[in-house]
Amino acid sequence: MKRNRLVVGTRGSKLAMWQAKHIADRLIKAHDGLEVEIRHIITTGDKILDVPLAKIGGKGLFTKELENAMLAGEIDLAVHSLKDMPTELPPGLILAAVTERIDPGDALISPRFGTIDKLPCGAKIGTSSLRRKAQLLHYRPDLTAVDLRGNIDTRLQKLETEGLDGILLAVSGLKRLGWQDRITQIVPMEICLPAVGQGALAIEARENDVSVLKLLACLEHQATRFAVTAERAFLHEVEGGCQVPIGVYAAMAGDALELEAAIATPDGARLIREKVAGPPSAAAELGINLARRMIAAGGREILKCMMGGGTPFV
């Protein structure tokens, strides 16, 4: 049966609402007569703003309530930043579409100093991400990383009100909200690899809802799907989330898919980084194989350290 109305679930932040409206507009443009309602749902991650993500569970904090609403039939699909999604979804739900990735990297906003290399010794940099913190400190161990929670606009305000010398944010979020003029440096990938799926939007839907899945097919970007499949397979094999500093990035290079990853301790003192390439059709295997190689090359010890010396993730 052809659907003529969809209910899209989203978080209520300015960025999340922009993303949901963007997807709604694309669907309306692609399907004549389609009506789309956007429904705002508050997630656990939106409620707890005074505790670092790593201490309250990390992945799933921004998706669970949306997924429950989907399974209950209250919404037809949910729009997420792909980097917020766990590698395992609840039974009955699938990653129905992945949009074309834009600007996957991280940005430094430092009006006084401009770039990471120009930051003075001891400079205070705000970030909510263990991944950013670890890679930054590996490159500049003399810097001070400060926990910074809140939506993008809140973090931009805290840059001015909390005596910070700079903050690190995703380039894609800043650009989507029209705040790209605040960026003073796009951090080189050589310094900081992004989060899994950073820069791409994920459309989650019910696995058996064929009519909805057909409508969502127009959103799919195959090259991005290959890339994030490799990244998510890597993360799943390592079984890391926000509590483990992991950076990973895949992209097509000609006919090959290149995948690079880093596993680090939170203080950046130890960091393992490797790169592989292979056919995009074997994206998941590429991620799994790289994860196993890095775990064997020292990642196991880092993961043991993260678990307090107990059983590692693998």
CB 71 within 8 A of CB 49: no
Q: In whole angstroms, what is the distance from residue 173 CA to residue 302 CA? A: 30
**Annotated catalytic, 32?**
no
Q: What is the DSSP string of 68-84?
A: HHHHTTS-SEEEEEGGG
Order of strands across the sheet that contains 35-40: 35-40, 5-10, 77-81, 201-206, 93-98
Q: Which residues contact 51 (CB under 8 A, 6 or more apart)?
A: 149
E-strand spans in 11-111? 35-40, 77-81, 93-98, 106-109
Q: Which of the following is catalytic: 84, 103, 106, 209?
A: 84
CB 245 within 8 A of CB 263: yes
CB 274 within 8 A of CB 286: no
Estimate to the nearest angstrom the gap between the alpha carbon of 199 and the chain centroid: 7
Q: Which residues contact 307 (CB under 8 A, 6 or more apart)?
A: 313
Q: In whole angstroms, what is the distance from residue 54 CA to residue 7 CA? A: 31
- What is the set of active-site residues? 84
